[in-house]
């Protein structure tokens, strides 16, 4: 019997991208059982908010919706807070961390991920972000990106609940194991320097740090190849703190394509 999976999606003003994400999961997922839990941080009146759609999906029983505290565009820690709360509400053996702008393309996408959990001590499956350019991949490659990360909830419990699942900028001097970056340039945000280097600490880096330096040999993460991204999913890359602005180039460029793909899915899948 398959283990149950909770697909955990943090969302905030992603326009129709969240609709494409949910409906592609519902129509293109062969694996059972699974559930979708969405944590939304928008207000109904916001540009890009999809609360009425999410309410309707929750009413149909397609998702469980958790309405969180409002997240302003200046709140860079919002996604990390969503991950914490979503994991707290996960009651299945497995948790799938999922972005709100990822379209499922192949019905065996979850099966492919679960299959990688079969190795001894393997309690997670992580991949890299193909939206980054090749220069970025030179230093980002050791990181397990939380855009799509399958976790055995044993990891969550072993890592002391939700204490280390934040998404924030911390001074590099406070990093427990800076060697996790292997001498490569860590992710940094120039706007938040304040006189010292601040490193973007997210779920992916913390898991990498824990596995390689704090639980060495006890826990392993299986790696996703680029073929997974090419075959099973499409990451639209529409998430941004600027999503509320309909004139932002990222929104103007991608939103019409997302809407067209959503319309095709509804008519043909």
Asked if pLDDT for residue 190 goes beyond 70, the answer is no
Kind and range of the H or E run holding 260: helix 249-268
| Nearest-10 Cα torsion for 26, 227, 16, 5 | 40
Q: Average of pLDDT values for 152-169?
A: 65
Given a cut of 60, whether residue 105 has pLDDT beyond it is yes
The region of weakest confidence among 45-49, 161-165, 172-176 is 161-165
To the nearest whole percent, how much of the chain has pLDDT over 70?
64
Is pLDDT larger for residue 163 or for residue 199?
199
User: What's the mean pLDDT in 126-132?
Assistant: 52
Q: Considering only residues 92 and 167, tell me which one the structure prediction assigns the higher pLDDT.
A: 92
| pLDDT of 200 | 61
Question: What pTM value is reported for the model?
Answer: 0.83
- Are residues 228 and 145 in contact, defined by beta-carbon separation less than 8 angstroms? no
Condensed to tens digits (0 to 9), the pLDDT of residues 46-78 reads 766 788 999 999 999 999 999 887 765 555 556
Q: What is the pLDDT of residues 70-90, one digit of tens each?
A: 765 555 556 777 887 888 899
5-162+211-268 is classed in which CATH architecture?
Alpha-Beta Complex (3.90)
| Distance separating alpha carbons of residues 235 and 129, to the nearest angstrom | 9
C-alpha Rg value of the chain to the nearest Å = 18
For the segment 11-20, the average pLDDT, to the nearest whole number, is 87
Residue of higher predicted confidence among 181 and 249: 249
CA angle 160, 162, 165 (to 5 degrees): 110
247 confidence band (pLDDT: 50, 70, 90): confident
The pLDDT of residue 134 is: 32
Q: Which of 4, 43, 38 is nearest to 23 (CA)?
A: 38
**Tokens 């679960």 sit at which residue?**
114
* Angle at which helices 17-27 and 249-268 cross, to 10°: 30
| 229-249 mean pLDDT | 75
Pairing label, strands 198-201, 168-171 = antiparallel
Q: Identify which has the larger pLDDT, 98 or 225.
A: 98
> What value does the mean pLDDT of the chain take?
76
Q: Which of 29-43, 145-159, 208-222 has the lowest mean pLDDT?
A: 208-222
Residue 135 confidence (pLDDT): 31
Question: Does the structure show a pLDDT above 80 at 18?
Answer: yes
């Amino acid at each position: 019997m398959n283990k149950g999976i909770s697909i955990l999606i943090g969302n905030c003003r992603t326009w129709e991208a969240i609709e494409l994400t949910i409906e592609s999961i519902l129509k293109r997922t062969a694996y059972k059982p699974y559930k979708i839990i969405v944590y939304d941080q928008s207000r109904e009146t916001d540009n890009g908010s999809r609360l009425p759609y999410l309410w309707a999906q929750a009413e149909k029983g397609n998702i469980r919706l958790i309405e969180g505290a409002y997240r302003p565009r200046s709140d860079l820690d919002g996604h990390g807070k969503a991950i914490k709360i979503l994991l707290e509400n996960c009651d299945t053996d497995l948790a799938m961390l999922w972005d709100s702008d990822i379209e499922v393309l192949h019905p065996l996408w979850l099966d492919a991920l679960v299959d990688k959990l079969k190795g001894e001590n393997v309690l997670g499956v992580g991949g890299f972000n193909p939206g980054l350019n090749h220069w970025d991949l030179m230093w980002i490659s050791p990181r397990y990106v939380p855009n799509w990360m399958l976790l055995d909830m044993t990891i969550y419990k072993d890592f002391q609940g939700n204490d280390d699942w934040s998404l924030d900028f911390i001074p590099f001097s406070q990093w427990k194991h800076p060697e996790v970056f292997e001498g490569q340039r860590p992710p940094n945000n120039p706007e938040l320097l304040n006189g010292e280097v601040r490193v973007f600490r997210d779920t992916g880096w913390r898991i990498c740090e824990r596995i390689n330096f704090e639980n060495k040999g006890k826990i392993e993460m299986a790696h996703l190849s680029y073929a997974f991204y090419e075959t099973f999913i499409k990451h639209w890359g529409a998430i941004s703190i600027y999503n509320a602005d309909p004139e932002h180039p990222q929104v103007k460029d991608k939103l019409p394509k997302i809407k067209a793909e959503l319309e095709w899915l509804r008519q043909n899948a």
